């Protein structure tokens, strides 16, 4: 029996009742009254989120409360994920394919998606151990998407995370197979390695992740993106691309963590709405960085969208309009978290800001 009656997708009618905000024009200040948001914390302390172009979050905590150490939190969680990923893909025969899988999977990166998964699990009362296998699986899926996205038949990129892309290091045939192997391993890993979680919740998680990456998820966004190159694209069409190609997997990261942690239907839906905002935010920031940073700073080829004549938010509404839209998305994400205890939700508050302020 399914835990929830339906799994909302971006084609679900509910989306039209709660759509992602999309700016109609690059206005100078679309944020308006959302520029300053006060969020209640435990013991009446406050987290004050300055939602401006810089999207700076400044914690104002009572003296009796320890400051939330976000950098330490990210480093600790990422280290645990890296250890689990290393164990999940041992170097074994045939060595070339496993070496290629490990090359991209263990190449570093911010581990935003697995950390979101873990933070969501903990927010609803679950232990991080319940979410680690799913967090690893999500990173496997994400890595697959990067390997395939870099291929000559797709974005034809030579650089990823400061290193040669997988097909440059191992050849196109091996890169395709490495991505395929990581995708299939992801679902196997959730089913085989998850413990102390009901079978119903494991199945729900697998369905959620599968829908995020399939023909109505990541693949849909990638397909529309490819066929939109060199064409006039509306804001609505651009949002469809970004929501599916990038945001959908980030949404799954948060939702899967909440499901594994034992979240109820209301909690899962609140976190889904939060995740939709930060998922689109991630891609808006990506669009901005592509035209404002160098390849050395990004660790990947800069200016690729401009060269391939792809639709981006800076192209359609300008850099300032894109920055203001990013600020709106941060504000909306924070608003969704107001349902939860502020202290427990602190990692997700800071993760929203981290995504907004990232420089790579």
Q: Is the pLDDT of residue 256 over 90?
A: yes
pLDDT at residue 229, as a whole number: 82
Average pLDDT value for residue range 114-118: 98
Buried-state track 315-345, b at ≥16 Cβ within 10 A, e below 16: bbbebebbbbbbbbbbbbbbbbbeebebebb
pLDDT at residue 39, as a whole number: 37
Average pLDDT value for residue range 132-158: 95
Q: Quick one: what percent of the chain has pLDDT higher than 70?
A: 77
Q: Any idea which of 20-34, 136-150, 247-261 has the lowest mean pLDDT?
A: 20-34
pLDDT tens for 204-217 read 999 999 999 999 99
Average pLDDT value for residue range 314-334: 92
pLDDT at residue 110, as a whole number: 87
Could you tell me the domains of the chain?
70-357 (1.10.600.10)
Neighbours of 210 (CB within 10 A): 15
Q: Is the pLDDT of residue 11 over 50?
A: no
pLDDT tens for 153-188 read 998 899 998 899 999 999 999 999 999 999 999 999
Q: Is the pLDDT of residue 4 over 90?
A: no
Average pLDDT value for residue range 216-220: 96
> Who has greater pLDDT, 342 or 143?
143
CB 209 within 8 A of CB 189: no
Two structure tokens written together for 292:
């404002």
pLDDT tens for 222-238 read 999 988 888 888 999 99
CB 331 within 8 A of CB 257: no
Average pLDDT value for residue range 299-314: 66
Ramachandran angles phi, psi of 154, nearest 5°: -115, -105
pLDDT at residue 86, as a whole number: 98
Residue 131 CA to residue 197 CA, distance in Å, equals 9
Q: Is the pLDDT of residue 250 over 90?
A: yes
pLDDT tens for 60-115 read 333 333 478 999 999 999 999 999 999 999 999 999 999 999 999 999 888 999 99
Length of the chain: 360
Q: Which of 161, 172, 112, 174 is nearest to 138 (CA)?
A: 112
> Who has greater pLDDT, 309 or 232?
232
Average pLDDT, the chain: 82
Angle between helices 248-260 and 112-123 (to 10 degrees): 40
pLDDT at residue 55, as a whole number: 37
pLDDT at residue 102, as a whole number: 98
Q: How confident is the model at residue 306 (pLDDT cuts 50, 70, 90)?
A: low
Residue 38 CA to residue 18 CA, distance in Å, equals 23
CB 118 within 8 A of CB 135: yes
Two structure tokens written together for 293:
């940073």
Coil vs helix vs strand at 168: helix
**Helix (H) or strand (E) run with residue 138 in it:** helix 128-149
Q: Is the pLDDT of residue 26 over 90?
A: no
> Who has greater pLDDT, 255 or 56?
255
Coil vs helix vs strand at 159: strand
Strands (E), the chain: 36-40, 46-50, 57-60, 159-160, 163-164
pLDDT at residue 303, as a whole number: 56
Q: How confident is the model at residue 52 (pLDDT cuts 50, 70, 90)?
A: very low
pLDDT at residue 309, as a whole number: 66
pLDDT at residue 228, as a whole number: 87
pLDDT at residue 161, as a whole number: 84
Residue 332 CA to residue 20 CA, distance in Å, equals 9
pLDDT at residue 105, as a whole number: 97
Average pLDDT value for residue range 244-253: 95
Q: Is the pLDDT of residue 242 over 80?
A: yes
Q: Is the pLDDT of residue 290 over 80?
A: yes
């Amino acid at each position: 029996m399914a835990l929830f009656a339906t799994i909302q997708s971006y084609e679900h009618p509910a989306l039209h009742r709660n759509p992602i905000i999309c700016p109609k024009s690059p206005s100078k200040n679309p944020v308006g009254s959302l520029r300053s948001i006060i969020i209640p914390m435990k013991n009446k302390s406050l987290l004050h989120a300055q939602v401006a172009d810089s999207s700076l979050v400044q914690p104002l905590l009572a003296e009796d409360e320890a400051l939330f150490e976000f950098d330490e939190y990210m480093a600790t969680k990422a280290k645990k994920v890296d250890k689990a990923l290393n164990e999940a893909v041992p170097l074994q025969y045939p060595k070339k394919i496993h070496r290629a899988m490990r090359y991209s999977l263990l190449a570093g990166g911010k581990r935003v998606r697995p950390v979101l998964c873990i933070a969501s699990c903990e927010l609803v009362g679950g232990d991080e151990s319940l979410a680690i296998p799913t967090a690893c699986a999500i990173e496997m899926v994400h890595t697959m998407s990067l390997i395939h996205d870099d291929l000559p038949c797709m974005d034809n990129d030579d650089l990823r995370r400061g290193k040669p892309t997988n097909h440059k290091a191992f050849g196109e045939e091996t890169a395709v197979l490495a991505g395929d192997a990581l995708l299939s391993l992801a679902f196997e890993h959730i089913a085989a390695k998850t413990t102390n979680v009901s079978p119903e919740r494991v199945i729900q998680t697998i369905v959620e992740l599968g829908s995020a990456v399939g023909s109505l998820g990541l693949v849909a966004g990638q397909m529309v993106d490819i066929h939109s190159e060199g064409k006039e694209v509306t804001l609505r069409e651009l949002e469809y691309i970004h929501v599916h190609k990038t945001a959908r997997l980030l949404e799954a990261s948060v939702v899967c963590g909440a499901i594994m942690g034992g979240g109820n239907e209301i909690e899962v839906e609140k976190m889904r709405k939060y995740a939709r905002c930060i998922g689109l935010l991630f891609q808006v920031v990506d669009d901005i960085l592509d035209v404002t940073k160098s390849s050395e700073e990004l660790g990947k080829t800069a200016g690729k969208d401009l060269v391939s004549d792809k639709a981006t938010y800076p192209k359609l509404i300008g850099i300032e309009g894109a920055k203001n839209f990013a600020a709106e998305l941060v504000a909306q994400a924070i608003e969704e978290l107001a349902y939860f205890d502020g202290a427990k939700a602190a990692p997700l508050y800071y993760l929203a800001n981290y995504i907004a302020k990232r420089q790579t």
